[in-house]
């Protein structure tokens, strides 16, 4: 299997915008922030499970994007993919630091197995899903976040993770299977 | 494509075929047409998980974060030019002000050596000398002013 999914592998839809950002056009700066900041924040939040750290990562991605935009070479790849790479590397750094220095107070986790009998409200469902995703092994979580939430193609996600498309598919399958098991009690209420 | 491959794709990528690898979509559609019931069940199972995952709402971007991000953004090149011009102009003004302040010091030294110059007049001179406008800063220190100062002394 080699085909990409959602976005084609061709032109960068952000190319013109990035060029204008590089020239310092205020409208382009605003547009890039509106287009990418929620995306980078969501990626970091879902990778790290911590709101404050996610904001720090998203801000740092933009610090680097502002430096990169004036020298960005069209055709060298998608700017969105580059931003994802920067964000993921920042997330990896933080996750590695956590492993090396266990935190006194790890981010609050919600037990994904509880709550079915509480008449789930949307916020409860959201928290349960968050907890279930957070409980996945890191690489499975990353695959699910990139493909489902960030809407990247299988080829883009595999390249970012440094694995083959087949390996990505395996990570996705295992991750989604674990999620289905953790959230299976939600099925009747939602069907 | 057989039904097992169809299942494995749904389990990996979910029920939305636009997420599936591009080169697998047509064969998958063909299989769905051949085996609609089995394929439909597989997609329904995958759709449940997709829907559950979508319930995890993304965080909202705070105003403070947005402002922090925008604060570091590139400035328009014209503005940069204006800023550097302003910077050079400001530097020139600073130099003029400094020169004026030196001139004031010399004049005050000359005129006030007898310690008779009034503090009020000296303050006025120094205030004028410190002004960014070189013309007004330098204006009080004409020859006639020095003479006036000497007369006051």
Q: Give every residue of chain B whose pLDDT is below 70, as ranges.
A: 77-153
HSE-CB at B1 with a 13 A cutoff on CA atoms is: 23
Inform me whether the C-beta atom of residue A30 falls under 8 Å from chain B C-beta atoms. yes
In terms of domains, do B143 and B95 share one? Answer: yes
How many domains does chain B divide into? 2
In terms of domains, do B51 and B90 share one? Answer: no
Determine whether the interchain pair B21/A5 forms a contact, defined as Cβ–Cβ distance below 8 Å. yes
Q: How far apart are CA B43 and CA B45, in angstroms?
A: 5
Task: Let me know if residue B138 belongs to a domain.
Answer: yes
* B112: containing domain: 86-152
Determine whether the interchain pair A126/B49 forms a contact, defined as Cβ–Cβ distance below 8 Å. no
Q: How far apart are CA A125 and CA A112, in angstroms?
A: 9
Please tell me whether the interface predicted TM-score (ipTM) of this complex is above 0.95. no
Cβ burial, residue A110 (10 Å; 0-12/13-18/19+): middle
Task: Let me know if residue B81 belongs to a domain.
Answer: no
Task: Let me know if residue B100 belongs to a domain.
Answer: yes
Tell me the average pLDDT across A148-152.
96
% of chain A exceeding 70 in pLDDT? 82
Inform me whether the C-beta atom of residue A107 falls under 8 Å from chain B C-beta atoms. no
Q: How far apart are CA B147 and CA B125, in angstroms?
A: 15
Task: Let me know if residue B66 belongs to a domain.
Answer: no
Q: Which of A147, A108, A113, A145 is nearest to A128 (CA)?
A: A113
Q: How far apart are CA A59 and CA B72, in angstroms?
A: 9
In terms of domains, do B96 and B47 share one? Answer: no
Q: How far apart are CA A41 and CA A39, in angstroms?
A: 5
- Chain B residues with a Cβ under 8 Å from any Cβ in chain A: 8, 11-14, 18-25, 45-46, 48-53, 55-62, 65-66, 68-70, 72-77, 79-80
In terms of domains, do B101 and B49 share one? Answer: no
Task: Let me know if residue B32 belongs to a domain.
Answer: yes
Lowest-pLDDT choice from A70-79, A86-95, B1-10, B117-126:
B117-126
Task: Let me know if residue B119 belongs to a domain.
Answer: yes
In terms of domains, do B49 and B92 share one? Answer: no
Can you give the pLDDT at residue B80? 53
Is the pLDDT at A26 greater than 60? The verdict is yes
A102 Cα to chain B: minimum distance (Å): 25
Can you give the pLDDT at residue B58? 87
Q: How far apart are CA A167 and CA A159, in angstroms?
A: 11
Identify which has the larger pLDDT, A191 or A89.
A89
Task: Let me know if residue B71 belongs to a domain.
Answer: no
- The conformation of residue B139, written as its DSSP 8-state character, comes to T
Q: Which helix (H) or strand (E) holds B118?
A: none
Is the pLDDT at A28 greater than 70? The verdict is yes
HSE-CB at B134 with a 13 A cutoff on CA atoms is: 12
Task: Let me know if residue B65 belongs to a domain.
Answer: no
| CB contact at 8 A, A140 and A175 | yes
Can you give the pLDDT at residue B79? 55
Evaluated on CA atoms B20, B24, B26, B30, the torsion sign reads negative
Determine whether the interchain pair B61/A41 forms a contact, defined as Cβ–Cβ distance below 8 Å. yes
Q: Which residue of A has its CA nearest to B50?
A: A148
Claim: this prediction has a pTM higher than 0.80: no
Q: Which of B4, B8, B48, B43 is nearest to A173 (CA)?
A: B8
Mutate to test the interface with A, among B14, B42, B53, B82 (most CBs of A within 10 A): B53
């Amino acid at each position: 299997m080699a085909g990409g999914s959602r976005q084609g592998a061709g032109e960068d839809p952000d190319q013109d915008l990035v060029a204008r950002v590089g020239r310092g056009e205020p409208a382009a700066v605003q547009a890039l922030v509106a287009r990418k900041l929620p995306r980078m924040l969501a990626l970091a939040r879902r990778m790290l499970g911590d709101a404050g750290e996610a904001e720090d990562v998203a801000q740092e991605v933009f610090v680097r994007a502002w430096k990169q935009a004036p020298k960005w070479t069209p055709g060298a790849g998608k700017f969105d993919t580059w931003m994802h790479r920067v964000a993921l590397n920042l997330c990896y750094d933080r996750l590695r630091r956590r492993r090396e220095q266990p935190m006194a107070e790890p981010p609050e986790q919600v037990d994904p197995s509880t709550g079915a009998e509480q008449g789930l409200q949307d916020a409860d469902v959201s928290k349960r899903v968050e907890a279930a995703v957070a409980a996945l092994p890191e690489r499975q979580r990353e695959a699910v976040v990139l493909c489902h939430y960030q809407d990247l193609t299988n080829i883009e996600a595999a390249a970012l993770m440094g694995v083959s498309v087949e390996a990505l598919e395996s990570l996705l399958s295992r991750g989604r299977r674990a999620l289905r098991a953790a959230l299976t009690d939600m099925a009747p209420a939602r069907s | 494509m057989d039904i097992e491959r169809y299942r494995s794709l749904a389990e990996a990528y979910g029920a939305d075929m636009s997420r599936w690898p591009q080169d697998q979509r047509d064969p998958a559609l063909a299989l769905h047409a051949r085996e609609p019931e089995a394929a439909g069940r597989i997609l329904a199972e995958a759709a449940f998980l997709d829907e559950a995952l979508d319930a995890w709402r993304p965080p909202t971007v705070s105003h403070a974060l947005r402002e922090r991000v925008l604060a570091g953004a590139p400035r328009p090149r014209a503005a940069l030019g204006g800023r550097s011009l302003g910077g050079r102009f400001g530097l020139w003004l600073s130099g003029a002000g400094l020169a004026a302040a030196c001139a004031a010091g010399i004049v005050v030294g000359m005129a006030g050596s007898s310690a008779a110059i009034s503090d009020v007049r000296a303050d006025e001179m120094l205030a004028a000398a410190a002004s960014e406008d070189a013309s007004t800063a330098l204006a009080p220190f004409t020859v006639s002013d020095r003479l006036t100062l000497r007369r006051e002394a």
